[in-house]
Structure 1
Amino acid sequence: MKNIFKAALSLVLVVSSFFATTSASAEGAKRVLIVMSSESAMGLSGKLTGTWFEEVATPYYTLREAGYEVVMASLKGGDAPIDLLSMQAPFTTANTDKFLNDAVAMQALKNTNKLSDLNVNDFDALFVPGGYGLLWDLASDSFTIKMIEDFYADNKPVAMVCHAPAILRDAKKRNGEPLVKGLTVTGFMNAEDDELDLSRHLLFSLEDMLKANGANYKGTKKNWQAHIEIDGPLMTGQNPASAPVLAKALAKRLNK
């Protein structure tokens, strides 16, 4: 009986904590939507993928600790796949370890909202983590593309890290031009894909696409260095090491 009572109390605490985080909007806190891929495979290659864990965990804690409500969504809803490689050393971080032991955070990850079911106009900013999965779903999803176009047009921050800027491939400005035309952006470099020996498995090169669409693409001289670019409401980060920097920049921008 004692063990049953402890289990019940633990459940109550988790549920209470969950509702406490989701009720922040009622208190006037700004809301950030983290948008993830629902794809766990790299096409027909047989290679598994998903969202890169650090690019979810660190923004989640950075934004929440800054006082913002954070809501997770994925294209299909439910359990958003995480790249298994990103859950192993040396790619884990203090925040990924913390996330794995955080019942509320794990509940949110395993029960993400279906993106198209949300009223995205209720959010003040977007944060899109990377990972190769989104090349196969979010990058060609009309709802996701229009959401980003609308946020950009309304001057709401759109933060995208690693491969997430791939979603900008078909995004347009109100005048019909590519959204990134004339903007300074970054994203996962060809050299970083090449170092992982994954370039041949991808649907398209992120770096080449951004340049072809008229963006002023900037990357670092060496792979894996943290690097972000901010041009108007569009905020981009190059790789996993850039996620903490980008999350802090977004938190600071929302505080203005």
Structure 2
Amino acid sequence: MSRHVLMIVTSNAKMGNTDKRTGIWTEELAVPYYALLDAGVQVEIASPKGGEVPLDPSSIRPRGQNDAAVERFLADSAAMKKIGNTLVASKVDAATFDAVFFPGGHGTMWDLPFDSGVSKAVEAAFAADKIIAAVCHGPAGLVSAKRPDGKSILSGKRVNAFTDAEEDAAGLSQVVPFKLEARIRELGADFENGNLWQAYAVRDGKLITGQNPASSKLVAQHVLQALELGTEKFAA
């Protein structure tokens, strides 16, 4: 029986009140996208606004200089068609998918936490006991989702994300609307992290979170394990 995963990405291309462009960090989309696809998983992509979504230009080097998954993604007409015409998150029944996956990119910080369609999708997946995964700034899509008792779905869970130290090192702590690690801690999660810029991921039941772009592969491997597809088919 084929597995289905819903990826939810940012629609936001602007970094707050600055003129700096942002969007999806391409590696965090491409690596898990192909990990899933190559394992036979059907992948759909949604966003708060639907339609075309932005790739962060900072995450794309000249052709031939990117990681293999990014090069493959940029040359893949089917993949480019998906991000050129994403589904509207509020119109998708996340509970019908086996997993919901949030790639990161700084763009997420300005729309995912504030979009009711996104939080409702997460709540639907959580209520249906589906796998929920996110990498880097992707957990921004989880911070507004609540359990039926009103508490955060992250409360009491082991969670990882882009750390405050990494945000400081990136020089963007005063630009983002809030620090992701701090917010996750405020929500009652047990925040875990590795060293700066090193691959690190945490799985707590059906919640899977990773720290940064380098963690994309680890998060994808955890998702495949949770889907009972193993990791032997994983293609970096």
Distance 1:211 1:135, change over 3 A: same
Q: Contact 1:40–1:49 (CA<8 Å) still a contact in 2?
A: yes
Q: Cα RMSD between the aligned structures?
A: 1.6
- For residues 192-235 of structure 1, the C-alpha deviation after alignment (integer angstroms, 9 at most, x for no partner) is 11111111101001011111111110111x21111111112211
Distance 1:91 1:53, change over 3 A: farther
Aligned to 1:71: 44
Aligned to 1:217: 191
> 1:80 aligned to 2:80?
no
Aligned to 1:147: 121
Unaligned runs of 5+ in 1: 1-27
Larger Rg: 1
- For residues 47-85 of structure 1, the C-alpha deviation after alignment (integer angstroms, 9 at most, x for no partner) is 111010001111111001111101111111111101001
Aligned to 1:20: none
Amino acid at match of 1:57: A
Provide the aligned length of Structure 1 versus Structure 2.
228
Displacement after TM superposition at 1:168 (Å): 2.5
Aligned to 1:111: 85
Match of 2:98 among 118, 124, 139: 124
> 1:208 aligned to 2:178?
no
Q: Percent of counterpart pairs with the same letter? A: 40
Aligned to 2:232: none
Paired with 1:153 and 1:120, the residues of 2 have a C-alpha distance of 10
Q: Secondary structure at the match of 1:127?
A: strand
Displacement after TM superposition at 1:91 (Å): 8.6
Aligned to 2:217: 244
Match of 1:234 among 187, 201, 207: 207
Q: Contact 1:182–1:215 (CA<8 Å) still a contact in 2?
A: yes
Q: Contact 1:152–1:234 (CA<8 Å) still a contact in 2?
A: no
Q: Contact 1:129–1:160 (CA<8 Å) still a contact in 2?
A: yes
Displacement after TM superposition at 1:92 (Å): 3.0
Aligned to 1:39: 12
TM-score (norm 1): 0.85
Q: Contact 2:94–2:124 (CA<8 Å) still a contact in 1?
A: no
Q: Secondary structure at the match of 2:45?
A: strand
Q: Contact 2:5–2:101 (CA<8 Å) still a contact in 1?
A: yes
Q: Contact 1:39–1:134 (CA<8 Å) still a contact in 2?
A: yes
> 1:197 aligned to 2:171?
yes
Amino acid at match of 2:201: I
Paired with 1:216 and 1:127, the residues of 2 have a C-alpha distance of 20
TM-score (norm 2): 0.92
Structure scoring higher RCO (CA < 8 A, sep ≥ 6) equals 2
Runs of 4+ residues over 6 Å off in structure 1: none
Paired with 1:43 and 1:61, the residues of 2 have a C-alpha distance of 30
Q: Contact 1:155–1:232 (CA<8 Å) still a contact in 2?
A: no
Match of 1:98 among 72, 89, 103: 72
Q: Secondary structure at the match of 2:219?
A: helix
